[in-house]
A and B are shown apart, each in its own frame.
Chain A
Amino acid sequence: MTTTTTLGYDDLPELLTRLTGDEKHDWSALSTLDTLWVLHDRVLADGDRFLLSKGHGPQAYYAVLAAKGLLPLELLASWGSFDSPLGNHPDRALAPGVGFSSGSLGHGLGVAVGVALALEASAAEPPAPGGTPRLRRLAGGRVFCLVGDAELEEGSNWEAVQFAGRARLGILNAIAIDNASSTHGWPDGLERRFMLEGWTAVRVDGRDHEQLAAALTPDPDAVRPHLVVAEVSR
């Protein structure tokens, strides 16, 4: 890899300009930028997994990966071209640093449930004689999945939400970027829906790095999956 220097949050506008060729854009309008930055700068540790389910508008993701040295800076300008590994929706088979291929909405949470099951069970205790086998939680390895408030309209998400709550997948964390883009909305809020299914949930200002970092550093002994709604204006 040619350039793997680590850059800061203030460098992201320049990376986004490289990516898009657009020098006048107000990049702060990108709904996922701050959440992705805080995740990669302050939250994700060795052994953690991240799945970007909301693959639409991946500029912020590519820029953050490049800033963190996970994606060569030189690739940014190629975005969307025929030979580029960087498309309008990220492809894990092509793009360095990308762990999940997305674009079609409503796929990430279900896969994240499978990842969480594998991590939680990476050491199964042998069944006691005549008893029911039990799974033992190992240290390290949390799963983070980023979705959008409109993406949650897809019913497949709720299959995952329901099951994760019942299975008490405490290492699973969903981040819902809420920029009120769901046409029919979520009367009484997304949090209530997740909590009814057995999750813990909190709503934070999706531009506030301290709030995001605090909300995304969940209790390591959690026995319930956790939802962080990151509210941003459109």
Chain B
Amino acid sequence: MMRDRFYRALREALDADERVWAVTAEIGTASLGPHPRHVNVGIREQLLIGVAAGLALEGKRPVAHSYAPFLVERPYEFLKLDLGHNDLGAVLVSTGASYDGARSGRTHQAPEDVAAVAALPGWTIHVPGHPDELEHLFREALRGDDRVYIRMSEEQNHARVDGGGFTVLRRGSAASPLVLAVGPTLAPVLEATAELDATVAYLATVRPFDREALRAALPATDVVLVEPYQAGTSAAEVAAALLDRPHRLLALGVPNVEFRRYGSGPEHRAAHGLDAAGIRASLEAFLAA
């Protein structure tokens, strides 16, 4: 579980590094536990980001944590101004992802979060697909003083991918499509492409987007981008990377619709065509088109 790993890593960082502060707004507060540099501001998400910015203004390394819609969307202007415009850094770590809170309904689902953060300048965005990757990326983020958004999810891959960055996991023929799996979509992507001639790559850090690596990995013309949040969030990055190369792009992800369903995460994943069967169907239709 990424969440448990995050709380443990943050507790260790609080004990080890006086620069590190944790700021919560009731969510995760008890799991993290008390510490002199853990501040729970209550259900006050504008203050959550404001306090993080104030701590950064004093040279601290604040970690702000909440459910994705309450960490990113509710205080969005505070990300833009208190942190971005004031030229301050913080590590924002969200939980809930696109539909971990399936039963909680739309209020607790945030498929827009990565697109929203990516629309602001200067953010590094990590979408780890495994608790080991989460811990590594989080500890790296603590060392810096920049703006980092880390998106945790209940969905995770069977194994971590080592090496960080854009990693080619399987090479197909010179004519094969490049299927780029982001974060926890790797497990269904590997299953969907098992019997296909495909080049499969993995990416956990989507901003900045490694355009050079995408160019280097692309065997032919077809790109299939599989993101666990809003479809097309990184489509413009792919287009920019391949500006001078004729190409086709299929961008899979959560559709931009008001999705009024409860149920479970796996049901949502399947409904959005992001399970192995859905990805395979989209991929075959794309290749046949």
Residues of A that sit less than 8 Å from B by CB: 49, 91-93, 99-101, 103-104, 106-107, 109-119, 121-122, 124, 127, 132-135, 155-156, 159-160, 162-163, 167
Cα A135 to Cα B53 with chains together (Å): 20
| B residues less than 8 Å from A116 (CB atoms) | 54
Q: Are A110 and B36 in contact (CB under 8 A)?
A: no
Cα A115 to Cα B58 with chains together (Å): 6
Q: Are A92 and B36 in contact (CB under 8 A)?
A: no
Q: Are A107 and B51 in contact (CB under 8 A)?
A: no
Is B277 positioned at the interface, with any CB of A under 8 Å from its CB?
no
Cα A33 to Cα B37 with chains together (Å): 37
Q: Are B54 and A159 in contact (CB under 8 A)?
A: no
Given contacts A100-B86, A132-B34, A134-B36, whether A163 and B55 have CB atoms under 8 Å apart is no
- Chain A residue, CB-CB nearest to B53: A111
| A residues less than 8 Å from B53 (CB atoms) | 110-111, 114
Cα A117 to Cα B81 with chains together (Å): 20
A-B pairs, top 4 by smallest CB distance, nearest first, are A114-B54, A110-B50, A118-B58, A159-B44
Given contacts A113-B47, A115-B54, whether A101 and B81 have CB atoms under 8 Å apart is yes
15 contacts between A and B (CB under 8 A): A101-B81, A104-B77, A104-B81, A107-B82, A110-B54, A111-B57, A113-B54, A114-B50, A114-B55, A114-B56, A118-B60, A132-B34, A133-B36, A134-B36, A135-B36
Closest chain-A Cβ to B24's Cβ sits at a distance in Å of 12
| A residues less than 8 Å from B81 (CB atoms) | 101, 103-104, 107
Interface residues of B in 64-99 (CB under 8 A from A): 77-78, 81-82, 85-87
Q: Are B51 and A113 in contact (CB under 8 A)?
A: yes
Residues of B that sit less than 8 Å from A by CB: 18, 21, 34-37, 39, 41-42, 44, 46-47, 49-60, 62, 77-78, 81-82, 85-87
Most buried by B among A110, A114, A134: A114
Q: Are A111 and B87 in contact (CB under 8 A)?
A: no
Q: Are A162 and B44 in contact (CB under 8 A)?
A: yes
Most buried by B among A99, A104, A110, A115: A110
Cα A93 to Cα B84 with chains together (Å): 11
| A residues less than 8 Å from B57 (CB atoms) | 49, 99-100, 111, 114-115, 118
Q: Are A112 and B54 in contact (CB under 8 A)?
A: yes
Known A-B contacts: A135-B36, A156-B78. Give 12 more (CB < 8 A): A101-B86, A107-B82, A110-B50, A111-B50, A112-B54, A113-B50, A115-B55, A117-B51, A117-B54, A118-B54, A124-B18, A163-B44
Cα A91 to Cα B82 with chains together (Å): 11
Q: Are B54 and A124 in contact (CB under 8 A)?
A: no
Closest chain-A Cβ to B1's Cβ sits at a distance in Å of 27
| A residues less than 8 Å from B35 (CB atoms) | 133
